Structures are given as C-alpha cells and as structure tokens.
Chains A and B, each alone.
Chain A
Amino acid sequence: MEATVHRLVDALARDSASRLVAALARRLGAGRIAVAEDAVQHALVQALSLWPFKGVPDRPEAWLATVARNRALDLLRSEARGVLLAEELVPTAPANVESEGRFDRELNDDELALLFAVCHPALSPEMRVTFALKAVCGLTVPQIAAGLLGEPTTIAQRLVRARKQLEASNVAIETPPPDVLADRAEAVRTALFLMFNEGYSASSGEALVQPEFCVEAVRLARALALHPVTRSPASDALAALLALTAARLPTRVGPDGVAQLLEDQPRALWDRSLIALGLAHLERSARGRDLTVWHLRAEIAAVHALAPSTAETDWARIVAIYDQLRTVDPSPVVALARAVALGRARGPAEGLAALPAPDGNPYSHAATAIFLTELGRTDEARGHFEKARDLARTEPERRLLERRLRS
C-alpha cells in the first residue's frame, strides 16, 4: 500500500505537473503560459496541504487537473475575457509509470508544443533557456537565477518580456508546420545544449555544477529524440552528447569541493548507465546521412567516455574531430578545446602555439599555464595561473587554481 502511494506520487511529480501545465497552456494560448503555471502550482500546493491529512484521492491526476482548471478560471475571471476550458483536462497517462529512470519520461504532444513555443526564434537564446526551465521543467525563479548568474528580479523580468514577445508575435502553442519544423527543432536543440552547459559549468557561485539543469536537459533531449515529430539523427546526436557528458557529472568536483581536471577524475565513478544511454543514441544518430555539429561533439564525448584514462585517450582522433568542428563553429571555445587536445596528442609546445589569446578567459589562462609548466617554464606559468584564479567563475575552480599555485 505504502509503496503504491510512493510510486504514485513520484509519477505525479515527474509527469503530471508538466503535462498539466502544457495541457492548460495549450488551451489558454501562449500569452497565458504564466496563468497555467500558477494554476498548476496552486493545485500542487493544495495537494501538499490536504493529502497528508485526508490521504491521496482515488484519481489524483484528475483531482490535480480539476483544482488547476478551476484556479485558472478564477485567475482569468479578473481578465474579464471569458475562456472556454474543457471539463476534461486530465493529462494522458504517462506511457511508463513503472519506470524508475529520471531520464525516461516521454513528452506528450502538449509538452512538445510548449517546448517549441518557449524555444521560438522570436525569443533570444537566453530567453528560451530561461523560459524552458520555468515553463517546461517547473523550476522556480530563484532556482533559475542561482544557476544562470542572475538576480531573481532580472530572471522574472526576462520571463515577462518573453511571454509578451510570444503574445506579440502571435505564436501558437502547437507543433510547427512541416516547412519550418527542421529550423524550429534546431532552435530547441540549441536551447537544450545551452541549458545543459549552464548546468555543467555554472557561470558563477559556490557550485560548479547545477545537476538539475543537466538532468532536465538530458531528459528533454532524449524525449526529443524519441518523439515521432522530432525524431532525427541530429536529435539523437544531441541526446548522445548530453548523456555522455552528464556521465562525468559525479566527478567534476572532488569530495573536498575542489574542481577536478579530466585526468584527475576517478573514471570508475562515471555513470555507466548514462554512458550506455549515450552510446545507444549515438548509434541511432548514425542512421541517415546527416553529420551535424551535434554528431561531432557527441563523438568527442564518446571518445572520452570509452577511454580508460587520459593517457590512453585517442587524442589524435579528438583533434581531427575538432578540426571538422572548427569549420562549422569557429568560436574561441572550440579553438581552446582543440588546442588542449593538440597538446595532449603532440606535446605541450604545439598545444601552446595553437591556443587562442587568453583575452580574460580563465580556462585559456589555465591551459596556457599548464602547457608552460609542462615545458618547464614555471615562472611564466605562475602569472597565468594567478590570472586564471582571479578570473575563476566558481569557488571549486578557484580552489583548484589556488592549489596549483601552492604546489
């Protein structure tokens, strides 16, 4: 009996809330996504307050749906515009309630439509990430602000602007028509990649990683790769990239709160099931002729995931993939990563020569310092370690550089 309650509430937590927001938002229109969010939040608060006293209702999903629907009507009454809401607002039951996996939730059509709407090209990339975290993933403004290097008020204002923009652009919450589907799906993939990066290398603060951003990004990328509308080699490649990279999350920061370089990470702690998941998507991504940036990035992640150690990593292969990636993405981030790989493949002198000018980037300074140390130029290295430490964006990274300086 108790186990049933647990599974039920877990399923509600994972599925029903997002599905309800999506179902309500789709019926209310893009301008009222906030109303849908508030109404569902209200229903959850009610459930939390009442269920412990009275037990779980017979049909909890229907209970939540009714409370949310009534709340939405209440909220809209003040708007004076009448809205017709169907009596039946119960979200379709998830396909696999029994599944325990955090990453195994499929998106229903309502949720996919909402994801497309909040990642609409009318919105700036950071608006898309923020909006998706709020509306699709159900994170709160303070949580998003903590992860995105922003004040809660800034995040709240960004959300308001995003909602207004959607309304002004007359964006409907629906699956895009076939002629623009490919472009719109790419906008969603880019937003999920940014969301993941924010989680994987937090831009500031005490925590280097924001695991919930990563979990949500992997979950959505996987759902995108599995949904009939968005299923494609590019979506599979993105899911592979995010799952393979997320596998390394447990070792990004050591138990002492100090960031760990790839070579210092205990690979036994990497998440084997995520690696398996990523490899399965990578295999699926090879069906068809597409070779996207996601394929290239995923392949690099796979080389790392499968190597027994940094010394035994196929760095030449990684350099070759970065060479390909550089032709489509000439950003300094890619140049930096390529130079680091080159240094591992052909020695620190070549790595150093290939590094882009540091330009206030802590990672460039750190890479420069490491190559200089390996070349025995420790005096020059020190200056770069100091700059990297002063520019470090998170506490665990600053501690790592501090330790290098003391050694």
Chain B
Amino acid sequence: MAQFLLMLHQAPNYNSDLPREKMMEMTRKYIAWADGLRQKGQMVGGEKLTASGGRQLRSSGGKLVASDGPYAEAKDVIGGYFVLEAKDLAEAEALTRDCPHMALAPGNWAEIRPIEDMNKVRAAAG
C-alpha cells in the first residue's frame, strides 16, 4: 500500500450561494465518501484549510521575505487535503473520482500526489 496526498483546489467561498437543500445534499455525499474511506481504512486523515489569512515565505537575495496569501480574492486556493491509502495511483484516482468536491462548483479540481515511501527509497539506496 502507498499513501497519496489529495489536494482539493477551489475558488474561496464557492459554495456560499447553494440553496439549503442542495448544500445539505452535498454535505451528505461528502460525508458518505469520507466515512466510507475511513471505514475501509483508506483515509489516513485530512484537514480543512482556511481560504485566507495565511503567510507565504520566500528567500529573496539571501533574505526571507514574508507576504500575505493566499487572499480570499484568489481564484484558486487549496481548500483542504486528505491523505489516502491506496495500492497504486490508479486506485487513488478511482477513490478520488467518487469525491463530490469536483461536482460542487465548476472551478473545483483535485490534485493527487504520491507520497514518497521512505522505506522504499532507503531499500533502493541499499
């Protein structure tokens, strides 16, 4: 088994305009998806991130420069992440296809990144 980071990209506050019924329907689907994975032992964890109020740090000319970001006005932010357990990328993709995030709003998308397995790296290094 391997672990995958699932990053959920979205426009901030994308869902504030949904009707109540629709909103709760999406909540139900979302929870069903996450709980289903939890029960199968394929959900390692996850956190919701705030859309704004973060800080970004960069090195510039040998100095660390901090700035605010992302902003609530940003077009695309990472709204939250999950860590999934799957046997390979194909399975991680299949699990993500069932995630209701993409259906919630037109700009929503998901990014799946394999997490380096340090045991394998060490084994390969001999």
Assess whether B109 is interfacial by the CB under 8 Å rule: no
Docked-complex contact B34 and A52, CB < 8 angstroms: yes
Given A2-B36, A138-B21, A50:B48 Cβ within 8 A: yes
Q: Note all chain A residues with C-beta closer than 8 A to B82.
A: 53
Assess whether A59 is interfacial by the CB under 8 Å rule: no
Q: Note all chain A residues with C-beta closer than 8 A to B72.
A: none
Q: Note all chain B residues with C-beta closer than 8 A to A52.
A: 27, 30-31, 33-34, 46
Docked-complex contact B19 and A143, CB < 8 angstroms: yes
Q: Number of B residues whose C-beta is below 8 Å from A?
A: 28
Docked-complex contact B48 and A9, CB < 8 angstroms: no
Docked-complex contact B35 and A53, CB < 8 angstroms: no
Which of A40-48, A243-251, A257-265, A328-336 forms contacts with chain B? A40-48
Assess whether B20 is interfacial by the CB under 8 Å rule: yes
**Residue from B24, B32, B48 in contact with A44 in the complex, judged by beta carbons closer than 8 Å:** B24
Docked-complex contact B48 and A47, CB < 8 angstroms: no
- How long is the Cα–Cα vector from A6 to B82 in the complex, in angstroms? 21
Assess whether B17 is interfacial by the CB under 8 Å rule: yes
Docked-complex contact A2 and B35, CB < 8 angstroms: yes
Assess whether A13 is interfacial by the CB under 8 Å rule: yes
- How long is the Cα–Cα vector from A6 to B31 in the complex, in angstroms? 9
**Residue from B15, B31, B47, B79 in contact with A51 in the complex, judged by beta carbons closer than 8 Å:** B31
**Residue from A1, A9, A138, A143 in contact with B28 in the complex, judged by beta carbons closer than 8 Å:** A9
Assess whether B70 is interfacial by the CB under 8 Å rule: no
Q: Note all chain A residues with C-beta closer than 8 A to B80.
A: 49, 53
The smallest beta-carbon distance between B93 and chain A, in angstroms, is: 19
Question: Chain A 73-90, CB within 8 Å of chain B: the 1/0 string?
Answer: 000000000000000000
- How long is the Cα–Cα vector from A139 to B23 in the complex, in angstroms? 11
Assess whether A300 is interfacial by the CB under 8 Å rule: no
- How long is the Cα–Cα vector from A41 to B18 in the complex, in angstroms? 9
**Residue from A9, A12, A138 in contact with B19 in the complex, judged by beta carbons closer than 8 Å:** A138
Docked-complex contact A13 and B28, CB < 8 angstroms: yes
Docked-complex contact A45 and B31, CB < 8 angstroms: no
Docked-complex contact A17 and B20, CB < 8 angstroms: yes
Interface residues of A in 122-151 (CB under 8 A from B): 138-140, 142-143
Assess whether A5 is interfacial by the CB under 8 Å rule: yes
Q: Note all chain B residues with C-beta closer than 8 A to A12.
A: 24
Docked-complex contact A53 and B34, CB < 8 angstroms: yes
The smallest beta-carbon distance between A350 and chain B, in angstroms, is: 47
The smallest beta-carbon distance between A165 and chain B, in angstroms, is: 24
Q: Note all chain B residues with C-beta closer than 8 A to A9.
A: 24, 27-28, 31
The smallest beta-carbon distance between B107 and chain A, in angstroms, is: 16
Docked-complex contact B19 and A139, CB < 8 angstroms: yes
Q: Which residue of A lies closest to B36 (CB)?
A: A2
Assess whether A56 is interfacial by the CB under 8 Å rule: yes
Q: Which residue of B lies closest to A46 (CB)?
A: B48
Of the candidates B31, B35, B79, the one having the most CB atoms from chain A within 10 angstroms of its own CB is: B31
Docked-complex contact A17 and B30, CB < 8 angstroms: no
**Residue from A6, A40, A54, A212 in contact with B48 in the complex, judged by beta carbons closer than 8 Å:** A54
- How long is the Cα–Cα vector from A13 to B18 in the complex, in angstroms? 13
Assess whether A55 is interfacial by the CB under 8 Å rule: yes
**Residue from B19, B25, B31, B48 in contact with A56 in the complex, judged by beta carbons closer than 8 Å:** B31
Docked-complex contact B24 and A51, CB < 8 angstroms: no
Docked-complex contact B33 and A13, CB < 8 angstroms: no
Question: Chain B 81-98, CB within 8 Å of chain A: the 1/0 string?
Answer: 010000000000000000
Question: Chain A 33-69, CB within 8 Å of chain B: the 1/0 string?
Answer: 0000000111011011111111110000000000000
- How long is the Cα–Cα vector from A140 to B34 in the complex, in angstroms? 28
Q: Note all chain B residues with C-beta closer than 8 A to A167.
A: none
- How long is the Cα–Cα vector from A139 to B18 in the complex, in angstroms? 9
Assess whether A374 is interfacial by the CB under 8 Å rule: no
- How long is the Cα–Cα vector from A245 to B18 in the complex, in angstroms? 29
Docked-complex contact A48 and B15, CB < 8 angstroms: yes
- How long is the Cα–Cα vector from A23 to B1 in the complex, in angstroms? 50
Q: Note all chain A residues with C-beta closer than 8 A to B23.
A: 13, 44-45, 48
Closest 9 A/B residue pairs (Cβ): A13-B24, A138-B20, A52-B30, A9-B28, A17-B20, A53-B48, A48-B27, A52-B34, A140-B19
| Interchain Cβ contacts under 8 Å between A and B, 15 examples | A5-B28, A9-B27, A13-B23, A13-B24, A13-B25, A17-B24, A42-B16, A48-B15, A48-B26, A52-B46, A56-B31, A140-B18, A140-B19, A142-B17, A212-B21
- A sample of 19 more A-B contacts (CB under 8 A), given A52-B34, A53-B48, is A2-B36, A2-B39, A5-B31, A6-B28, A6-B32, A9-B24, A9-B28, A13-B20, A17-B20, A44-B27, A45-B23, A47-B27, A48-B30, A49-B48, A51-B31, A52-B31, A52-B33, A142-B17, A212-B21
Point out residues on B near A: beta carbons under 8 Å.
Answer: 13, 15-21, 23-28, 30-36, 39, 46-48, 79-80, 82
